[in-house]
Amino acid sequence: MKKSILLFSAYLSFALAGVISDAPKVTDRETPKRGSNIVASYHTSIKYAKKSVVNISAKRVIKSANLNPFNGNPLGDEFFNFFFRDMVPKERVEKSLGSGVIISKDGYIVTNSHVVENGKDIVVTLPNERKEYKAKLIGSDPKSDIAVIKIDRENLNYVKFAKSSDIKVGDIVFAIGNPFGIGETVTAGIVSALNRSGMGINEYENFIQTDASINPGNSGGALVDSRGYLIGINSAILSKSGGNNGIGFAIPSSLVKSVVESLLKNGSVKRAYLGVSIDNISSNLSSYYGRSSGAIILNVEKDSSAEKGGLKRGDIIVSIDGDEVKDASDLKNRVGLHSPKDVVKVEFVRGKKLYSTEVRLGGQGEIEISRSEAKNYEGLQLREINAKDRLSSSLKGVIVSSVLIDSKAMEVGIKKGDVIIQIGNSEIGSLEEFREAWSREKERLIYINRGGSIYLTLL
């Protein structure tokens, strides 16, 4: 049995290795010579990458809110439906446009999660082709805004991943995408800054900032270096007007690669959890500790990985596995790149002295009922409550992380963020209890905690 598991693991590693190809390591940088009759151009460098960027359109069916004030009252429902039923649209269709990047010759494509989020029909158009390909959603990670889709097509051009750790501020970069749906477009710029976080765009942020124009429709497209290798996935712009102000953000290739591999392997991303509340070192504390970098621990959760590893309130975490921790956001990103049960070496400062410990990371309570499994539960994707979700120590149940489009759960009004606390006569405290109660009940009365108010529906 062990031999079979090892052979399967080896096969899986080999299969995943064939999906993503690594670019050669950067060894030097060149500047065009003066006085030459040669025009400086990157046409040849990026022409292959251009062939790897696709247009993506996704149709979303948006359900209208229930405007019936008599909901649940038979006489009131009859009155409302008789007079107002045809005046209130039940749903509307929205279409999103974005870009994607082919990462394998057999049709795997990476894009932004928000481009395909809740997409009912995802359609891909290849460069210089009119034929449309229906795409299958392989997995999505809204916290990093990365998703993987796949089309049935072979022998495609695909990009190679450069190491984002090789990128320097001032490097020339190109943003390739499909802005406004007008067709493939390439814009040029430089790397303006690295490791941008705290922008409030994604939960996990470590952006490359660039002044290459990134416009609507560029989302999910490629940011490539002067060799044509992928250094990031274009994600967002900073603009009050919606126009381009020369401040664009791309998700670095290292984070993209980690998320993509997890989505291909598991269909979801299960991140590690340290179990601490953290903050940056303020200016007045930096003089006391003699340092401004690192993440200071404000609280340690009981029975967490941090507590078991000996970490305490007031410790400053300065490195993970030998890599410097710059601030609280950096620590969150570094821990988030790991999987539950990974063992990491943590260096920390306590009382102005440097210590180290090994910590076995825990799980974060990520989605446990996946998109594919949600079909068995009338469209409900669920996860268990973690410490961040608790409004009080007594909050129990399971959290609705997503509701599938056109599902029965959506029809009866269950929403993302609802907490299912009881099914029939069975109180719910975990996913295991949810599954058991679900299998027992034929007509399922679902009790929901929504912002402290309790609702009841039949599912």
Question: 11 — phi, psi (to 5°)?
Answer: -65, -40
Distance CA 445, CA 387 (A): 27
Give the pLDDT of residue 198: 65
DSSP 201: S
The average pLDDT across 331-346 equals: 85
Q: How many other C-beta atoms lie within 10 A of the C-beta of residue 427?
A: 13
Ranges 160-174, 383-397, 422-436, most confident? 160-174
How much is the pTM? 0.64
Is the pLDDT at 8 greater than 70? The verdict is no
In this predicted structure, what is the pLDDT of residue 393?
47
Nearest to 419 by CA among 393, 445, 455, 392: 455
Reading the block at residue 313, the tokens are 């309130």
What does the pLDDT average to over 53-57? Answer: 89
Residue range 371-458, CATH number: 2.30.42.10
Whether 110 has a pLDDT exceeding 90, the answer reads: yes
The model's confidence at residue 90, banded by pLDDT at 50, 70 and 90, is low
The residue with greater pLDDT, 267 or 409, is 409
- pLDDT computed for residue 370 by the predictor: 62
| Bigger pLDDT: 18 vs 265 | 265
Q: For 53-82, what is the mean pLDDT?
A: 61
Catalytic residue among 52, 96, 144, 145: 145
pLDDT (0 to 100) of residue 207:
85
Q: What is the pLDDT of residue 367?
A: 43
> How far does CA 442 lie from the centroid of its chain?
35
Q: What percent of the chain has pLDDT over 90?
A: 19
C-alpha closest to that of 277 among 309, 307, 255: 307
Q: What class has domain 47-150?
A: mainly beta
Residue 193: Cβ within 10 Å count: 13
Q: Among this protein's residues, is 338 annotated catalytic?
A: no
Place 422 in a pLDDT band, splitting at 50, 70 and 90. Answer: very high
Report the pLDDT value the prediction gives residue 230, as an integer from 0 to 100.
94
Average pLDDT on 75-86 reads: 55
Residue 392, pLDDT > 50, answer no
pLDDT reported for residue 65:
47
For the cut 60, the answer to whether the pLDDT of residue 117 exceeds it is: yes
Q: pLDDT: is 218 or 1 the higher one?
A: 218
Each residue's pLDDT tens digit, 284-305: 788 888 888 899 998 887 778 8
Does the pLDDT at position 64 exceed 80? Answer: no
User: CATH 2.40.10.10: which residues of the chain?
Assistant: 47-150, 164-266
Model confidence at 109: pLDDT above 90: yes
Give the model's confidence band at 148: pLDDT under 50 very low, under 70 low, under 90 confident, else very high. Answer: very high
Fold of 164-266: Thrombin, subunit H (2.40.10)
The least confident of 10-19, 115-124, 128-137, 229-238 is 10-19
298-307: buried (b, 16+ CB within 10 Å) or exposed (e) per residue? eebbeebbbb
CB 138 within 8 Å of CB 263: yes
58 alpha carbon, distance to own chain's centre = 18
* Cβ atoms of residues 323 and 294 within 8 Å: no
Q: What is the mean pLDDT of the chain?
A: 80
Of these residues, 52, 99, 213, 219, which one is catalytic? Answer: 219
Asked if residue 1 has pLDDT above 90, the reply is no
> What distance, in Å, lies between the first and last C-alpha atoms of the chain?
41
Which overall architecture, per CATH, does domain 272-363 show? Roll (2.30)
Minimal CA–CA distance to 309: which of 362, 256, 242? 362
- Which pLDDT band, with edges at 50, 70 and 90, does 9 fall under? low
CA distances from 40 to 33, 35, 46, 168, 228 (A): 9, 12, 13, 21, 15
Active-site residue, selected from the candidate residues 114, 140, 253, 402: 114
What is the pLDDT averaged over residues 378-395? 68
Residue of 385 and 61 predicted with greater confidence: 385
The values of phi and psi at residue 351, to 5°, are: 60, 35
The answer, yes or no, to whether residue 119 has pLDDT greater than 80, is no
